[in-house]
Each structure stands twice: as structure tokens, then as C-alpha cells.
Copies of this chain bind each other. A is one copy, B any other.
């Protein structure tokens, strides 16, 4: 019998427009180099301010990805 094993990596996506865009930026960047992405968990919402306006949305997220099957 086999059991799935997952790894969690932590990324910070950024965007000039929204938290959702920053989140998808991070996920798509991870997907460009890694397979098996399964879920994400937001751990922090922050941002930068310039000239009195939000200049960057920053989302920290943990991404869970399947690493492979392990012998049960």
C-alpha cells in the first residue's frame, strides 16, 4: 500500500494591483519550475506604500506539492 507525501514551500508573491494577483503570481511562478502543486495557504498579507498610495501588494503563502508515493 502506498501513501502520498507532500512538501510545503513558502513563497511571497507581489503585485501592483491586488492581493489575488499577488497570490496567483506566486502560484504560477512555482508552477513554472515545479510539478505536483496541490494547494496553498495564505500566511501573511502585507504591502509597500509610496507617495501615500499602495505601491505593492505582498502575499506570503505556503504551497503544498506532492513529492511522490512512499512505500506503506
Contact = CB atoms under 8 A, between A and B. Distances in A.
A10 B37 CA distance: 15
Nearest to A23: B54
Interface string A6-43: 11111111111011111111111111100001111110
- This chain: how many copies in the complex? 12
A59 to B, nearest CB: 9
A3 B56 CA distance: 9
Nearest to A10: B8
A7 B6 contact: no
Nearest to A39: B48
Question: 5 closest A-B pairs (Cβ-Cβ)?
Answer: A31-B52, A42-B45, A6-B12, A8-B10, A37-B49
